[in-house]
Structure 1
């Protein structure tokens, strides 16, 4: 068929000219059933989200998170637990292969591999099918992660025999140490160290305990003069003889504590 100046139109009877099933219809053809995404639909989503957010905030104010008792280092029967969504990691660190000398494996390597595998799942199984049998890798990895998390959480949240744990882990009580106030170095300790390390060398608010230290007499004297860590230099002011007596006094107390 010719039309115009040499222009040809070719028709194919196998294609219906009115067939537009692959072309989405404009939302205006469905009055009352749809609307523009911006701003109508998005504004409604924001309003619904705001209502839920305000309700959640009111619930947290009305019923704050429960707090447990103050920390008591002498209570060996108390077992602190993380929030429920971290219980599976807490349980993982109980196993020998993920604790002790292998703590880095349990803290970083295994969780990193698990979350990394879930992140890579869409790229490892990128077939066109959407049914679970058509995506065995992604579905298998997701089921393995889900079953592992549920099982570890169940094991961590199971009943705990606190009485048996307390019996197996009795509180370590520090032995009574008799301080020899007649020692030549006690006076130097009293004037320079007692305010921070306590009258029994067991530490205080400003300084650690001096019981159980593994230092020589020379190292103790050097620390007393030059400081270490949070301890500033110049805390001891006295003669070399008094410094030697101080170091000997601290070593003597540690020998008696053993």
Structure 2
């Protein structure tokens, strides 16, 4: 026997000479280039994430998303839409077997199976190859999910005129609304309505803005007495003259705002 071959030096008989738990695994059987996790791999990931973040922030600054006004529960014709990153799920619910009587499939079952499959993809395709062509299951599932998401998002977004929608529902800054505080209707408004709709009719904590509504003076007077939506009846308890002043005050401000 050659010197040094097959010899083991054990200082304590209670310590196993075959202990290899601290020995790093040999990755030589995996094809392709190996990269140290720290700092090489983390630095590469950080640089890629930084480029994406800068590009995304640039897109947001150059082409900001249109904002809409505060939600008005009294507007029955308004159709709410989710944010763009949920439009593909919104479009999915329009299909026969994903909406209506089968809405549970579209809301829970189909998305659950899709995201569950993506989570299981690394375990279903755990070969040593790193190229997409060497991982057919994971690559196919990811491409299918990407194509479906892009198609459903495009199909949903193309059916909506986003510019017209934003223009019709854009918020009205309080500074653009001029209120004649000397109007007798304003004093009635402060006593009866300001606590819910705000002093300037736009920043109420409990009620929707009263700027941009499309009601006649008679309809406003009727709503003030009988209520509408979440607004209960009996909120206004003034005289008929005060009710007329209040309705004319709110109606006049909205008409002036339309002209501007």
Larger Rg: 1
Which structure's relative contact order is higher, taking Cα pairs within 8 Å and 6+ residues apart?
2
Give TM class, smaller chain: 0.3 to 0.5
